[in-house]
């Protein structure tokens, strides 16, 4: 297992944790994790890289070892501003190369359209964002938001790390015991009573009352000038959605002006970096070395 180091940087008033692999003189690659995840999840993919890279992977605000925001709701523009500050700190003079998963792709997809010159290459792993919001759902969504912030959310407690790992494997049958045991050591933290909870601010579970507008997403994606690679798992929800709604899938894909390829990885679900990290690493490196 390749060793990583922890670097803490002040980002917009928060002590931000960034996990790094490799030497500083090597080409930089930023790797952005998804919802309810942490930067350490990239370990298996990094282990499979053949070339030397300087990997920089932040824990988003409220996740892992990064400070919690201290708010009852996490607002999406804050993640975009955090990414901007992270790039300014680690890669101020050159366009960045980014690999992102799930929520991380939603963040960088918007950012890359807002400031296109800051991104050189973008590998999007399972990331067409959520389905278009339906206006008629707004009253129920606002009501749910009010209920959630009123009662407060909690992370589910597990008896111990082994219990947490078993739960993760039950949710993802492709996750091996060895990988699950590694992940929960970074996903979880032990409470005073001995139980283990996910190392994430429970406020992340609060629904956002104002989701990203679909037309705004498309408008931002159309401005992206970076080379883009899409990577999908053949057994993921994204793959199923593409089959159910091929017109929407094609509309989203067509919004990106510089798509190099769409790679579909067999026997992988949404968490390709857990299911098939060796294949994922090979696909990413092929793209980065073009």
Per-residue pLDDT of the chain (290 residues; tens, 9 = 90+): 999 999 999 999 999 999 999 999 999 999 999 999 999 999 999 999 999 999 999 999 999 999 999 999 999 999 999 999 999 999 999 999 999 999 999 999 999 999 999 999 999 999 976 677 888 999 999 999 999 999 999 999 999 999 999 999 999 999 999 999 999 999 999 999 999 999 999 999 999 999 888 999 999 999 999 999 999 999 998 888 888 889 889 999 999 999 999 999 999 999 999 999 999 999 999 999 98
**What letter would DSSP give residue 247?**
H
- How far is the C-alpha of 204 from the C-alpha of 189, rounded, in Å? 17
Residue of 56, 20, 32, 64 lying closest to 184 (CA atoms): 64
Task: Identify the CA nearest to 233 among candidates 199, 274, 183, 287.
Answer: 274
pTM for this one?
0.97
Classify burial at 15, counting beta carbons within 10 Å of its beta carbon; exposed 0-12, middle 13-18, buried 19 or more: exposed
Q: What is the pLDDT of residue 130?
A: 67
The whole-angstrom distance between residue 66's C-alpha and the CA centroid of its chain comes to: 15
Give the number of other CB atoms < 10 A from CB of residue 246: 10
Structure tokens at 238: 């994204």
Which two structure tokens, joined as six digits, stand for 14?
């928060």
pLDDT of residue 129: 62
Strands of the sheet containing 119-125, edge to edge, are 4-11, 14-21, 54-58, 28-32, 96-101, 119-125, 227-233, 259-265
pLDDT of 240: 87
Pure H helices in 123-234? 138-151, 161-171, 177-187, 214-222
């Amino acid at each position: 297992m390749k060793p990583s180091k922890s670097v803490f940087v002040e980002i917009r008033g928060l002590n931000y944790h960034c996990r790094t692999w490799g030497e500083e003189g090597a080409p930089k690659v930023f790797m952005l994790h998804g919802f309810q995840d942490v930067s350490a999840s990239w370990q298996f993919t990094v282990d499979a890289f053949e070339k030397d890279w300087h990997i920089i992977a932040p824990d988003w605000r409220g996740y892992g070892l990064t400070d919690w925001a201290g708010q009852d709701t996490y607002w999406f523009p804050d993640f975009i501003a955090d990414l901007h500050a992270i790039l300014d700190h680690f890669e101020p003079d050159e366009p960045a190369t980014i690999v992102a998963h799930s929520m991380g792709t939603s963040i960088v997809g918007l950012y890359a359209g807002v400031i296109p010159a800051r991104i050189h290459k973008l590998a999007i792993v399972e990331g067409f964002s959520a389905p278009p919001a339906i206006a008629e759902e707004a009253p129920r969504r606002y009501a749910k938001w009010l209920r959630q912030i009123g009662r407060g959310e909690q992370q589910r407690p597990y008896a111990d790390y082994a219990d947490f790992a078993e739960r993760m494997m039950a949710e993802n049958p492709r996750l091996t015991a060895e990988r699950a045991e590694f992940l929960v050591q970074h996903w979880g933290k032990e409470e005073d009573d001995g139980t283990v909870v996910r190392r994430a601010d429970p406020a992340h579970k609060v629904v956002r009352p104002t989701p990203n507008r679909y037309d705004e997403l498309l408008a931002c994606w159309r401005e992206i000038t970076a080379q883009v690679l899409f990577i999908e798992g053949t057994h993921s929800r994204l793959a199923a959605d593409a089959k159910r709604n091929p017109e929407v899938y094609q509309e989203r894909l067509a919004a990106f002006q510089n798509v190099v390829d769409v790679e579909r990885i067999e026997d992988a679900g949404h968490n390709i970096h857990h299911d098939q990290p060796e294949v994922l690493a090979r696909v990413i490196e092929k793209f980065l070395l073009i």
